[in-house]
Structure 1
Amino acid sequence: MRQCWYNRATLRLHFSHNLAHQTKTKGLPVTEEIITLDSFAYGGDSFGRLPDPQSETRGRAIFVPFALPGEKVRIRLTEEKRGFARGELLEVLEASPDRITPRCPHFGDCGGCHYQHLAYERQLQAKAEILRDQLQRLGKLSDPPVQPTVPSPTPWNYRNQVQFHLNAEGKLGFVSLDQRIIPITECHLPAAELLELWPQIDIETIPGLERVSLRCGSEDDRMVILESSDPEPVEMEADLPVSVIHSGPGGSLVLGGDDHITIEVLGRPFRVSADSFFQVNTAMAEKMVGHLLENLEIQPGDTGIDAYCGVGLFSAFLAPKVARLIGIEDSPEACDDFVINLDEFENVELYEAPVEEVLPTLDLHPAFLVADPPRAGLGRATLEGIQSLGPRIIAYISYDPATLGRDARFLSEMGYRLRQITPFDLFPQTYHIESLSFWERD
């Protein structure tokens, strides 16, 4: 490998247990309304309309978390804007048949989950509906070919990584909807390996220590990452078979064990360092890789680009199928992992620099481009770089339907047609929607 450096029956449900802390009224007089919700909105809320005091029609849009479409609810207004408002759910007067009992006692207070009260099959449908809506409204696509959401093999205990914040007493917790740190006694999203590790971690209050991340890989490979604003490393003793990393302003320092974990995808091991990104749902990462390979239509003589390539998750499976593959990534740690993970390939090049800077410098006409950008999406500069190269097909892995909708409009203007888009449920119980779309030139 060559490395290139580039500088949801009537039922009354009361929500006084946790939701009292849900939001603040931001100085508004206490205003309560009874409304019926219409649909899901991206971000975990349900959408409805407030009564119009000037007429018998429905007025401003209202967004309410923890309520479901079709439900008649009593709410309190917490925020009012010119065109919309937000509300706090006080009582469900008529419940949706899709509503179930949440598994976690922290649900409604902790900000990590949004759909535990919604049956899983309905979660999958809702995410496809939301994705379609974003593409229609933001992307101006009249009939986007959204496929059914690919379910996670398990809707619980799927995360290979979890990040805790620390409260003033040094207790591990998550951030609530109103930005408090809530000490957590149970969570049903981390993988079994992390559930076993987490209760064994006892951390005293340490100045500068802000977050603790846990990661797990293959064969009981586990890591604790201490994220601190203090450049001085934390002194600690670990009686657990884990690697411990101090991550501070000056970089990462190994306090014990290794500087990386190994995660296996489709039988292939990937080195993942403490500061490198990797998909949090390993089983779904496998499904996405398989879907990409089945739909990308690669030819042996092709040249392809893997933009935002990370540690090489997609590149490692693309490289054996093409004549030349170019990876682009600006994280030095991920680049180091990429080099090791793809060291066997002589037809792979890696540029360590921002994607929007590298694309305009490439003098080639790639057959395809795979892009897996962060939540912010591609953006105009990167899209202009893609346009200058003119790949026949673009495979776009998106984490945010809103930024995807924005980019979809630009892709259409550039002469690309959306052939297929499939949502993948990498994040059950949450509003997050990962998708893989294929765009072809008209």
Structure 2
Amino acid sequence: MAQFYSAKRRVTTRQKITVVVNDLDAFGQGVARHNGKALFVQGALPGEQVEVEISEDKRQYSRGSVKRILAASPQRVQPRCPHYSRCGGCQQQHVPVELQQQSKASALAHMLSKESGSPVAVDDIISGQAWGYRRRARLSLNYQVKTQTLQMGFREQASSDLVSITQCPILKPELNALIQPLHLLLSGLQAVRRLGHVELVLADNGPLLVLRHLDALSAADRQKLEQFSHKHQLSLFLAPDSDTLEQLNGEMPVIHSGSLGLTFSPRDFIQVNDEVNQQMVARALAWLDLQPHDRVLDLFCGMGNFTLPMGNLAENVVGVEGVAALVAKAAYNAALNNLNNVAFYQHNLEEDVTSQPWAGEGFNKVLLDPARAGAAGVMEHIVKLAPELVVYVSCNPTTLARDSQVLLKSGYQLERVTMLDMFPHTGHLESMVLFSRK
């Protein structure tokens, strides 16, 4: 007689424990102690007693999420967004803005103090509006065959599942108001099953929309899109693939950095929080104390967010960026603003720079604004240039702390630290540090 083996599905039960949270980290996670190690709890505030489901248990730390709040903190606030419990875009809407800023500033000071070997304090915090600040959003699109409906929204945290949204209170009001009518429009297109994503950007001369579509659009669909763009007074771009951008109507977008107008492509990187960006640029220029005889090097310059305003004050400014399209756009904007003393070069700054035409020039001041990976590839070269002042703009405190060590060991001292509240209600920590040569 034949015997058949039926494998039973393995069932793992996640451990649930009760803890009292005593701190908040930079990413908005509550911090407790369990089994002699740190336990990071998503959704918990200091002083709260919570039931936690453990999701990750390592030798030195554990992670978990709140299943029940047994004793709530008086500081806890009601999230403004109805999608907050599922959407992965924000992590700290239950945390008061002041506590968000305080925890990020404390984490930044701790990391820099650890690397420098002496206490480091955050001098101040640059912030703006906590709501309605984001001028750019990319919304995923997914057609559900079973329900014959189009999902439009953001991904769940640590998941590929899409959360359909009807509003996003951290978006600029002009963009937030477009979400529901845009969803209705896209749901009615013949190409509804073959749409990739949609991008919304608020430029200083009005909103724009970029639609990524996987198949050619019919004349009827194009007409609907154009009618929508005219009704809502926005520039319309179509993206049939990752390299092509077709502008159907509207102006090329413009943003400002200081007093200068910068044109950009909808695919170019721009700072999404304009209010904080304007303050950040002004602070960086003030720290550098630019004089008519200064020669400044701006590394990871993008399309000239810092470089171009510096050109109004210094004798000569050189910007270096790895993305060729941004270099071309920066050079175009320099010419547009009649800045003949500013030059741009394209180079991957993770690679050796010593043979570059700009590398040996006598710069007396340096600004760098690297991506999350930091600037390990150019720190030693900055030391060789021996500038009087260095401003480091960071979106990752870990790599900032690492790169700071190179300057501190080479005779530089840390003068000022500012925390940039660029992304309220999220776990992103941005900062700016001033170093001077002893």
Q: TM-score range by the shorter chain?
A: 0.7 to 0.9
Which letter does structure 1 place at the counterpart of 2:122?
V
What is the deviation of 1:160?
Answer: 0.8
Query: What is aligned with 2:3?
Result: none
Relative to 1, partners in 2 of residues 1:196 and 1:292: Cα closer, same or farther, differing over 3 Å?
same
Report the secondary structure of 1:251's partner residue.
coil
- Per-residue Cα deviation, 1:323-350 (whole angstroms, up to 9, x for no partner): 1110111223222321222111111111
Which letter does structure 2 place at the counterpart of 1:432?
H
1:81 is the counterpart of 2:35 = no
Q: Of residues 140, 147, 161 in structure 2, which corresponds to 1:165?
A: 140
Number of residues paired by the alignment? Answer: 404
Query: What is aligned with 1:56?
Result: none
- Per-residue Cα deviation, 1:119-155 (whole angstroms, up to 9, x for no partner): 1222221221121122234x34431131232221x11
TM-score by length of 2: 0.86
User: Which deviates more, 296-305 or 255-264?
Assistant: 255-264
Q: How does 1:183-222 map to 2 (within 5 A)?
A: 183-201=164-182, 202-204=185-187, 209-219=195-205, 221-222=206-207
Distance in 2 between residues matched to 1:311 and 1:156, nearest whole Å: 27
Ranges in structure 2 where 5+ consecutive residues have no aligned partner:
1-9, 145-149
Distance in 2 between residues matched to 1:115 and 1:321, nearest whole Å: 39
Distance in 2 between residues matched to 1:411 and 1:226, nearest whole Å: 45
Query: What is aligned with 1:377?
Result: 374
Relative to 1, partners in 2 of residues 1:358 and 1:326: Cα closer, same or farther, differing over 3 Å?
farther
What is the deviation of 1:183?
Answer: 0.4
Which letter does structure 2 place at the counterpart of 1:348?
V
Q: How does 1:47-58 map to 2 (within 5 A)?
A: 47-50=31-34, 52=35
Report the secondary structure of 1:47's partner residue.
strand
Distance in 2 between residues matched to 1:35 and 1:304, nearest whole Å: 52
Relative to 1, partners in 2 of residues 1:66 and 1:326: Cα closer, same or farther, differing over 3 Å?
same
Query: What is aligned with 1:366?
Result: 363
Distance in 1 between residues matched to 2:117 and 2:133, nearest whole Å: 33
- Per-residue Cα deviation, 1:330-371 (whole angstroms, up to 9, x for no partner): 223222321222111111111022234474231123111111
Distance in 1 between residues matched to 2:278 and 2:363, nearest whole Å: 25
Q: How does 1:12-411 map to 2 (within 5 A)?
A: 28-50=12-34, 52=35, 59-137=36-114, 139-152=115-128, 154-169=129-144, 170-179=150-159, 180-201=161-182, 202-204=185-187, 209-219=195-205, 221-227=206-212, 230=214, 234=217, 236=222, 237-239=225-227, 240=229, 241-247=233-239, 251-257=243-249, 260-343=252-335, 344-357=338-351, 359-360=353-354, 361=356, 362-378=359-375, 380-411=376-407
1:440 is the counterpart of 2:436 = yes
Distance in 2 between residues matched to 1:267 and 1:365, nearest whole Å: 27
- Per-residue Cα deviation, 1:34-77 (whole angstroms, up to 9, x for no partner): 11122222333121111x3xxxxxx1211111111222211111
Relative to 1, partners in 2 of residues 1:332 and 1:36: Cα closer, same or farther, differing over 3 Å?
same
Report the secondary structure of 2:124's partner residue.
coil
What is the deviation of 1:227?
Answer: 4.0
Which letter does structure 1 place at the counterpart of 2:295?
T
Tell me: higher relative CO, structure 1 or 2? Use CA pairs within 8 A at least 6 residues apart: 1
1:417 is the counterpart of 2:413 = yes
Contact 2:295 2:365 in 1 (8 A): yes
Seq. identity, %: 29
Contact 1:156 1:189 in 2 (8 A): yes
Report the secondary structure of 2:47's partner residue.
coil
Contact 1:104 1:188 in 2 (8 A): yes
Highest Rg: 1 or 2?
2
What is the deviation of 1:250?
Answer: 5.1
Relative to 1, partners in 2 of residues 1:61 and 1:250: Cα closer, same or farther, differing over 3 Å?
closer
RMSD across aligned C-alpha pairs, in angstroms? 2.2
Relative to 1, partners in 2 of residues 1:325 and 1:253: Cα closer, same or farther, differing over 3 Å?
same
TM-score by length of 1: 0.85
